[in-house]
Amino acid sequence: MIKSQTRRRLRKVVAAATTLTLIAAACGGDDDDTADEPAGEPADEPAPEPSDEPADEPADEPADEPADEPADEPADEPADEPADEPADEPAAEGGSLKLGILGECEGAFGGFHEDVVAGVSLAMVEDGGATVNSTTSALDGFTGANVAGLDIELVGIGCGDDTADRIIQEVRALVEQQGAEVVIGPLSGDESIAVANYAKDHPEVTFIDGIAGAQETTMQVQAPNYFRFHGDGAQWNAGLGDILYNEAGWETAAIIADDYSFGWTSAAGFIADFCAVGGDVVSRVFPPLGTTDYSSFVQQLPDPDEVDGYFWVVGGTGTNAALEAFVNAKGDLTGDQHAGNLFFSPALASALGPDIAGAYVGGFASLPADIQTPEIEAYLASADATWETLAAGAAGGEVGPPSVALGFGFGYGYYAAGKALNQALEAVGGDLSDNHAALREEMSTMTLDVPYGEVTLDENRHGIITTYVQQLVLDDESGEVVAETIALVPGVDQSFGGTFSPDTPPPDRDNPSCETRDLPWSGNAIPVVDGVPQE
Amino acid sequence: MNRSWRDLVAVAVVAILVLLPLFGSAFFVEFVMTRTVILGLAASSIVFLSAYGGMVSLAQLLLFGIAGFMVGNAVGEAGSKGLKLGWNAWVAVVFALAVTVAVAALLGALSARTAGIYFLMLTLTYAVIGYYFFGQVTTFSGFGGITGIDAPPWFEGHPVRLYYVCVVLSVVTYVGLRLLVRSPFGMALQGVRDDPVRMASLGFNVALHRTLAFTFAGFIAGVAGVLNIWWNGQIDPTSISIGPTLDLLIIAVIGGIVHLEGAWLGAFVYVMANNYMRNLPFADTIGLTEARFNTVVGLLVLLIMLLSPDGLVGVILRIRTAATGLRGDGGSTSDDASDHQIATADGGPKGPPVPTHTREGSIR
Amino acid sequence: MTTEVTTPTSIEAADHVVRLRSIGVAFGGLRALDGIDLDVAPGERLAVLGPNGAGKTTLFNVIAGDIRPTTGSVVLCGRDCSHLPSHARPALGVARTYQKTRLFSNLTVEDNLYLAQTGRQRRHLALFVSERDRSLRERAREVAHRVWLGPMVDATVDGLSHGQRRQLEIGMALAAEPDIMLLDEPASGLSRGERERLSELIEALDPAITLLLIEHDMDVALRVADRVVVMADGIIIARGNPDEIRSNTLVHEVYLGREGGR
C-alpha cells in the first residue's frame, strides 16, 4: 500500500517534471531571439542545465531524460565550439546576415533533408569560406561563412513535411523567432505557394526558392521579395513535345496525370509544347492522388492504334502500377509510344522489362549524369572535398559520396539558391539597406553562373532555364535500360510564349487548351550525342 | 471549495493571457500562443462532446477545416482557387459558420444512433471522406488548397488583435460551456452520456440530443477554423488529413479529455513541444530533432495515458489533492475519495463512459 | 396446458389503461413472448410473477417501448402505441424502473431525480437555467427524502450503496409522476428491513397510479398486489387475486415449488 502510494507520487513528479522541462525550454528559446546557430546552442551551456532539474529524473526513467550522458556532450561536437566565437570577431567590418533554410525532414520528400541543406552549405563553403560542422552530415550546419564582408549566420533549418500548414509554421519560426533575414527554400510546390504568400506580408525578408515546381508561386503570387532561380514543373517538360512531334512522328497524344497541381503543371508543360508545334492532345485522364489500381483510368485512354503516343505524369510507385495496368488492358508496351516526366526512370525496367526502352523523358532541375562539363566536374569534386560522406536522399538514404546528393536536382536547386545569394551579395558589397533593395535589384537582373547552365530571371523573378530531354535506351554493352540525354533546350521561360500568364487560369484538368503558337525555344534544341552537346 | 479553486485558477490564467503581449515576445504571442488558443478552442469541442456527451469525435478537425475552406472560397478573388466568390470577409464568416453548422447537423444526425467505438469509427470515416472531398473536388479546393487568404482588414498589421480575439472567444466558449452543462440541455446531455436507454425511457429523444450536441460542437470547431484561416492564411486538404485529425484528439487527451480546461492546456503543451523541443538542452544529442516530434508527442501521450487517464488536468488535481492531504494530514483513503469528488465536480466521468444499446433483460 | 384462474371483473374492465393484444416477441428463433393478452384497469396493482426467463422483463420492455413487439398491439390510455418509440411514451404517463439499476452514475441523486422529471417536459432543450428548473430541483430533493435518500442528495450515484441505488430507481419513477408505473424487481438484492420499507413505500403510493410490479419476493408481491399474473416460457399461465394464486397448484409446480415461499 505504502509502496504503491509512493510510486504514484513518483509518477506525478515525473509527469510534472516533463511539463516543466518543456516550459523551461520554451522560455529559454524565446529569450534567444538574438541567438546563435542551432548546432551551437546545446553545446554552449552544458553545465547549468542539468543542475536546473535536480535529482528526480535520473532515478526514475533513465531513458526519458538525457541527464545521464552529459559526458558524451563535448566529445560529440568539438567542431562548433572553437569555430563559434573567433569567427564572430572580425565581423566588425561588415555586420551579419541571418540565414534560414527551409528543408523537408518528413513527408514524401523527407529523405532529401540532407541533400538540400548540403546544397546551401556547399555554396557557403565555396563563396564564404565556411567550414561544415560535420563531415558526415550536412544537418549540423556550417560556421564561419563570410560573404562580401557579412557574416552569414545559419539561424535555423526549418523542417517541412510537404504540407503548406507545416511550412508556414516553420517559416514563421525562422523569421519571427530566429530573426532570419534571408530564407532559402522551400522544396515542394504547395509549400512554395504558401511561403510566397507569406513573403508578401514580410517585405523585410528575402526569399529564394529551393526547388519547388509550382507555377503559381511566381506567376500568380508575384511577391516582390520571392526569387526562384530554377524552372517550374511545366518548364521541365519543355522541348519534349517539339521532339516527339517533329522527330518521333507523334501527331496525337493522350495524357494521364496525377490529379493535383504538380500533375497538372507537369502535363501543362507537355501540352503547351506539343500543341504549339502542331500536335493534338486527344484525351486527358486524371487519376486521383494515391490511386493504387489504375485499371479503370487506363481503360479511359484511347487504344495504341488510335493515338500516336501517351504522356505519363504519375508519381511515386504509381508510375509502375499505372504502366502495368496499361500492359494488362492494352497489350505490351512499345517504348517509343510513351513519354513521361521526371518520374520515368530506368528503374521502371526492373518491373516492366526492356519494352520500356525507347520512351522519352522530360527534364528536372540539374542536368543528367551523362553530361559532363568541366564546371560540373569541378562542382561535384568540391562537394566530395567538403564532406566525407552524406546520407543523400538522391541515393535513397544510403550513405555515399556527397556528389550524389549535389548532382541531383534537390540538392542542386538549393545550391543554386545559395550561389545566387552570394553572387548578388558580392555584387552589391553586402548592402542590405532599405529592405535589401540593392540585393533584390541585383538578383532580378544578374545572370547566375552555376554549373548546370546559366540562369536569368523574368519580370516575376522566376528562372529562365536550360532543360533537357532524355530517352530510355538499351545499353549496348550491359543490355540494361539506361537514360540517355538526347537534347538540351535553352532559354525556357515560364510563360511558354504566352500560354501562361498571370491572367490565364493556373494549370488544371482543362487548362491549358491545345493551341498552336510560337515558342521561343522551338527548333532551338541542341542535340546531345554521347553526352556531348552539339553546338 | 473545489469549484472556487477552479475558478480562481481560470481567472488567473485568463489574466496572464490578457497581459501576455506586454511582456511576451511578438513571436511567442502572435505565433505560439495564438496557435495554442486556436487549437485549444478546437479541442474544446472534442472535450465537450466526450466529457458531457460520451461521444469521442474524430470529425471536429473536419468541421474546423470546412469553416476554413468556406472562408477561403468566399473571400477568394480571381487568381485563387475554389469558388472565388470575392465576398466581404465578415459575410464570409457568417457563410462559413452556416455551412459548418449545417454539415455538423447532418453528420450528427447520421451518427446519433451509434455510440462508443462505432461513433469513433464513423467520425473517422467522415474525416477521411472530408479529406478526399476537398482534395478531389477542385471546385472547392483541390489538393493544392487555398492560399493567400487575408484576415479582415481590421486585423491587417495587428496580429495581436487576432490573438485577443482568439483569447476572448476561448473565454466565452469556456464560460459558456460550463454554464451550458448546468442547463436543462446540458444535464440531459450528461444523462445521455451515462445511460441513453434510461434517458429514452424518461422521455428524452436521445438521438436529437446527440445531434444537437454534435451540431453545437461543430459550431465551436467552426469558429476555431475561421480564426485559424485568418491566422494561417491558407488551408489545404492535408491540413485536415488523418495526421492532424489525430493530433487534435491527442491535444484533448494530453490535457485531459474529461476536463474542459484540458483542451487549452493540451494545446499549450502540444504547441510548446512542437516549437521548442528542438531547443531543449541536449535534445539533439539523443536524436530529439524536430523530425522526431511525432515520436516524442507519442511518448508523451503514452506517459500521460499510463500515469493519468484524465490528462494533465488530472495530474494537477492530484498534486493539489496530495498537497491538501498532506497539510490536512488526511489518510490515503480520504485522499482518493476527494480526488474523485474533484474529478467529477463538473459531472465529468472518471473513466471512459461506455454507453451501450444492449437491451437489458431481454432474455433472462 | 393453461389452467386460467380468472377474475371476471378485471379482465372485462372497460376503462383499461394498459391493453395488450396477442403480443409476441421473437429473438431469432426464441419466442420470448407468445400471444400475451393483458388488460390493466386504472389504479390497479398488478404483480407479474414467474421464474427466470419467463418473459416478465420483456413484457415491461414492450409496454415501455424499449422493444417493439414482433406481433400484436399495445394500447396505453386508449391510444395505440405499438409503433411509438420509447421516448414518446412517458408523455402518456408511463414510467419504469429497471431490474439492473440504470442510473446516471456520474451525476448526483438530485440531478438524477431532476432529469426524471424533465423528460416529460418540453423545456428539456433549453440552454439556460430558469426558475422552473429551480422548482424541479426543489421537488427532486423532496422525492429524495421520500425514498430515504435525503442525506445523500448531493452525492453522485457512484457513491451510493446497492440498496440506495434501488431506492433511487424507485425515486426516478416517482419523480416522473406517472399514471402507469412499471417496477421491475424493485426489491432484488435488498435486505429484509429494506424490503419492508419498500413495501410500505409502494403501499403508500397514490391509489390513482396504476402499478405493474415484477417481483420474485412473493411476500412483497402478494402484499402489494390486487391481482397477479404468472408467466412461464413467454405465456401467461395463471391469473387471479393473491389468494387464488397462492392456492394454484400449477403455479406451485412451475414457480413456487422451485423457489419456495421464502
Tell me how crowded residue C8 is: count the other CB atoms within 10 A of its CB.
Answer: 7
Of B228, B248, B96, B236, nearest in space to B170 by CA: B228
- Give tens-digit pLDDT for C36-95: 999 999 999 999 988 888 899 999 999 999 899 999 999 998 888 888 898 999 988 899
Identify whether the C-beta of residue C55 lies closer than 8 Å to the C-beta of residue C234: yes
Residue type, A388: E
Q: So what's the pLDDT on residue A345?
A: 83
Contact B/A (≥3 CB pairs under 8 Å): yes
C214 and C250 in a single domain? The answer is yes
In the predicted model, what is the mean pLDDT of residues C161-183?
Answer: 91
C161 and C191 in a single domain? The answer is no
A398 and A487 in a single domain? The answer is no
B215 pLDDT exceeds 60? yes
| Residues in a beta bridge with A338 | A310
Q: In degrees rounded to 5, what are phi and psi of residue C243?
A: -65, -40
Q: So what's the pLDDT on residue B322?
A: 86
What CATH number is given to the structural domain containing C129? 3.40.50.300
> Residue A492 falls within a domain, yes or no?
yes
B353 pLDDT exceeds 50? no
- Chain C residues whose CB is inside 8 A of the B347 CB are 106-107, 111
C100 and C122 in a single domain? The answer is yes
- Give tens-digit pLDDT for B319-333: 888 888 776 544 433
Q: So what's the pLDDT on residue A423?
A: 97
Owner of C-alpha cell 418540453: C122
* Domain boundary residue, one of A417, A451, A485: A451
| Residue segments in chain A with a per-residue pLDDT below the cut of 50 | 1-4, 6, 10, 13-92
More confident residue, A534 or C140: C140
Of B217, B9, B251, nearest in space to B107 by CA: B217
pLDDT band at B318 (very low <50, low <70, confident <90, very high): confident
Q: So what's the pLDDT on residue A251?
A: 95
Of B361, B246, B238, B360, nearest in space to B301 by CA: B246
Spatial distance between the Cα atoms of B46 and B55, rounded to a whole number of angstroms: 8
In the predicted model, what is the mean pLDDT of residues C197-213?
Answer: 88
For C65, the domain range is: 1-87+179-201+210-262
Q: What is the CA radius of gyration of chain B?
A: 21
A103 and A211 in a single domain? The answer is yes
Q: So what's the pLDDT on residue A523?
A: 85
A223 and A103 in a single domain? The answer is yes
Task: Count how many domains chain A has.
Answer: 3
Q: Which of B138, B238, B332 sits opposite A165 (nearest CB)?
A: B238
Provide the 3-class DSSP secondary structure of residue A162.
coil
B278 pLDDT exceeds 80? no
> Residue A361 falls within a domain, yes or no?
yes
Q: How far is CA A272 from CA A278, A512, C24, in A?
A: 10, 7, 74
CA-based nearest distance A12→chain B, Å: 6
C123 and C250 in a single domain? The answer is no
C65 and C128 in a single domain? The answer is no
Spatial distance between the Cα atoms of A352 and A481, rounded to a whole number of angstroms: 11
Kindly state the DSSP code that residue A260 receives in the 8-state scheme.
S
Share of chain C above pLDDT 90, in %: 47
> Residue A71 falls within a domain, yes or no?
no
B28 in contact with chain A, both atoms CB, cutoff 8 A: yes
> Residue A83 falls within a domain, yes or no?
no
* Domain boundary residue, one of A44, A62, A80: A62
> Residue A68 falls within a domain, yes or no?
no
> Residue B89 falls within a domain, yes or no?
yes
Owner of C-alpha cell 513541444: B273
A149 and A263 in a single domain? The answer is no
Across the B:C interface, residue pairs with CB atoms under 8 Å apart total 138
Question: B172-175 long-range CB contacts below 8 Å, 24 or more apart?
Answer: B173/B41, B173/B44, B173/B220, B173/B223, B174/B10, B174/B44, B174/B260, B174/B261, B174/B264
Q: So what's the pLDDT on residue A67?
A: 39
B316 pLDDT exceeds 90? no
C175: Cα within 13 Å, side-chain hemisphere: 34
Contact B147 A39 (CB under 8 A): no
Task: Count how many domains chain C has.
Answer: 2
Residue A365: its H or E element: none
For chain C, the maximum distance between any two Cα atoms, rounded to a whole number of angstroms, is 59
* Domain boundary residue, one of A46, A62, A78: A62
- Give tens-digit pLDDT for B125-170: 999 999 999 988 888 988 888 888 889 999 988 999 999 999 999 9
ipTM of the complex: 0.87
Q: So what's the pLDDT on residue C5?
A: 42
B360 pLDDT exceeds 50? no
Task: Count how many domains chain B has.
Answer: 1
What are the cell numbers at A88? 564572430
What are the cell numbers at B195? 445511460
Q: So what's the pLDDT on residue B68?
A: 97
- Give tens-digit pLDDT for B84-135: 898 999 999 999 999 999 999 999 999 999 988 999 999 999 999 999 999 8
Q: So what's the pLDDT on residue B337?
A: 36
Spatial distance between the Cα atoms of B225 and B104, rounded to a whole number of angstroms: 13
C52 and C74 in a single domain? The answer is yes
For A37, the domain range is: 2-62
Contact A69 B304 (CB under 8 A): no
In the predicted model, what is the mean pLDDT of residues B57-68?
Answer: 97
In the predicted model, what is the mean pLDDT of residues B188-197?
Answer: 94
Tell me how crowded residue A424 is: count the other CB atoms within 10 A of its CB.
Answer: 25
pLDDT band at C243 (very low <50, low <70, confident <90, very high): confident
What CATH number is given to the structural domain containing A484? 3.40.50.2300
Q: So what's the pLDDT on residue C137?
A: 94
pLDDT band at B289 (very low <50, low <70, confident <90, very high): low
Spatial distance between the Cα atoms of B271 and B282, rounded to a whole number of angstroms: 20
Contact B183 C184 (CB under 8 A): no
- Chain B residues whose CB is inside 8 A of the C116 CB are 202
Question: B103-107 long-range CB contacts below 8 Å, 24 or more apart?
Answer: B103/B63, B103/B66, B103/B218, B104/B63, B104/B214, B104/B215, B104/B217, B104/B218, B104/B219, B104/B221, B104/B222, B105/B211, B105/B214, B105/B215, B105/B218, B107/B59, B107/B214, B107/B218
Q: Which residue in B113, B201, B212, B359 has the most chain C C-beta atoms within 10 A of its own C-beta, making it the best mutation to test that interface?
A: B201
Q: So what's the pLDDT on residue B185?
A: 94
Contact C104 B191 (CB under 8 A): yes
Q: In degrees rounded to 5, what are phi and psi of residue A12?
A: -60, -45
Provide the 3-class DSSP secondary structure of residue A257.
strand
C100 and C49 in a single domain? The answer is no
In the predicted model, what is the mean pLDDT of residues B338-353?
Answer: 37
Question: C196-204 long-range CB contacts below 8 Å, 24 or more apart?
Answer: C197/C148, C198/C166, C198/C167, C198/C170, C199/C223, C199/C224, C201/C146, C201/C147, C201/C170
> Residue A439 falls within a domain, yes or no?
yes
Contact A/C (≥3 CB pairs under 8 Å): no
More confident residue, B338 or B323: B323
Which residue in chain B has the smallest CA separation from A510?
B138
Q: So what's the pLDDT on residue C257?
A: 53
β-strands C45-49, C227-232 pairing:
parallel
Helix axes B34-53, B206-232, angle to 10 degrees: 170
Q: Which of B200, B348, B350 sits opposite C87 (nearest CB)?
A: B200
- Give tens-digit pLDDT for A194-232: 999 999 989 999 999 999 989 989 998 999 999 999 999
For B307, the domain range is: 24-343
- Chain A residues whose CB is inside 8 A of the B279 CB are 25-26, 28-29, 32, 41
- Chain A residues whose CB is inside 8 A of the B273 CB are 22
Q: So what's the pLDDT on residue A72?
A: 40
What CATH number is given to the structural domain containing B97? 1.10.3470
Q: So what's the pLDDT on residue C82?
A: 86
Share of chain C above pLDDT 70, in %: 92
Q: In degrees rounded to 5, what are phi and psi of residue C156?
A: -80, 155
Q: So what's the pLDDT on residue A426?
A: 96
What are the cell numbers at B82? 475554389
Spatial distance between the Cα atoms of A49 and A59, rounded to a whole number of angstroms: 17
Across chain B, what does the average pLDDT equal?
85
